[in-house]
Each structure stands twice: as structure tokens, then as C-alpha cells.
Amino acid sequence: MKKNEERILKYISDQLTPKEKIIFEEELKKSDQLKRDYDNIKLQLDDLSIGNELGTNEIYFSNLLPKVYQKIDQKKKFRKFGPIYYLVPTFSAVVVLFLFIFNNKTTNDTGYKDLANEVVNNLSDQEVSDKYLTELETDPANYVSNQNNDELSVQIPSDLEVSSDSYTRLIGNPLANEFSTLRNLSDNDLETVYEKLNSTTSQKVQ
């Protein structure tokens, strides 16, 4: 069957050459096996064919045309007012998008951009060095005290004793500075601390 099936299907689908077709038809007359296989395949295919004999509900076909006209009318109406249906949500979406983009730009970028522009456009390297770095390098204590003037006016008890270990610990851990009472010392105490600190660092360096 398998051997004949390929040839039979080629014959049915008209894939044989005219010469092959004549040979096949001759063989079909002579070979009982080929004839049986051919009839069997034909039967299977005919079994699947559907003619006009199917009993259908004719009301469906009678109602089809009114349904189609109804849809055509709906489409005509939509074409007339269609642009409005599309324009309103599209316009709203565009407005929301613009608001989102510009809001984001003003809140996040403007500060950085202004600062960057000021540095790039208005200050030369020399000016930056003179104005900010020199002051910081030559008198850092004064620079810091100018910045934190209000906080330095708080008085610290005069009997406060600070062990030399504490200075080392402060230098070793700059983070501790943030939470210490160092920034609350009076000018005199601060000078003492500064001197002791200075001597401790020089000892460490030596």
C-alpha cells in the first residue's frame, strides 16, 4: 500500500508527467493490487467530501443581508465621527506625556544644569582656585568656622577633659566627628584641641 500510495497521490494531485500518467493508467487496468489501493484511497477521500446535501438552517442566510447592512451603516457613522473618537484620547495622551516629560526635566535637571553652566561659563580655573581652594587651603579652620558660626557660639564646660586617645580615635575615624561635641567647643578649647591634634599627627607622621 505504502509503495503504491505515493504514486496514487501523485496521480490524483496531477504531479505525474504525461508519460508517467499513461504508464500508471495502464498499470491500473492490469494490477489488481494497485486498483484496490487506488479505490481504497478514493473511498477515504470521498468519505470526507461534503456536498450540498447538508441540512442547514435557512433562516441564517435570510438574516445575513440585514445584518451586513446594519454593520455597513455603523461603519459609515463611525467614519463620519471617527476622527473625534480617535482625536480626544490621542490629544489627552499627548498632553499627559508632555506634562510628564517637562515636569521631570524641571525638577531633576535644572539645579544641576544651572550649577554646571555657572561653573563652565562664568568662572575661569584661576577664579575657582582663588575663590574657593586658596581660602580652604590657607586657613581651613577659619573657612569652616565661617560656615558654622552659629553652632560654634555654644559654650562647652571648661572642666571637660579629653584624653590623647580620643584625638587619635577622632582622626582615625572622621565619621565620629559628625557625632562628637567637637563642633560645640569654645574658641580657646578649640585652639587647645587643634594644638594637641597637630602635635599628635606630627608624632604619628614622624
Partner 1 sequence: MQDNDFDLIKRFLSGEEVAFNLIVKKYQKKIYWHARQMMGNHLDADEVTQEVLIVIFNKLKNFNFNSSLYTWIYKIVTTRSLNQIRKKQIKRFFSIDDNDGDELQDKHDIVEELDSKEKLEKVKKVLQKIPPKQRQIFIMRNFEDLSYEEISEITGKSVGGLKANYFHALKKVLELTNEKK
Q: Which residues are at the interface with partner 1 (CB under 8 A)?
A: 5, 9-10, 12-15, 41, 44-45, 47-50, 53-57, 60-61, 64-65, 67-68, 71-72, 75
Between residues 38 and 167, which has the closer beta carbon with respect to partner 1? 38
Placement of cell 451586513 in the chain: 68
Placement of cell 500518467 in the chain: 21
Q: How far is the CB of 71 from partner 1 (least distance, A)?
A: 6
Q: How far is the CB of 38 from partner 1 (least distance, A)?
A: 12
| Spatial separation of the C-alpha atoms in residues 144 and 155, rounded to whole Å | 18
DSSP assignments along 143-188, one per residue = HHHHHTHHHHTS---TT----HHHHHHHHH-HHHHHHSSGGG--HH
Q: How far is the CB of 101 from partner 1 (least distance, A)?
A: 31
Q: How far is the CB of 85 from partner 1 (least distance, A)?
A: 19
Between residues 57 and 163, which has the closer beta carbon with respect to partner 1? 57
Which grid coordinates belong to 135? Answer: 581660602
Between residues 41 and 156, which has the closer beta carbon with respect to partner 1? 41
Between residues 10 and 183, which has the closer beta carbon with respect to partner 1? 10
Contact 153, 143 (CB under 8 A): no
Positive or negative torsion for Cα 142, 143, 146, 149 = negative
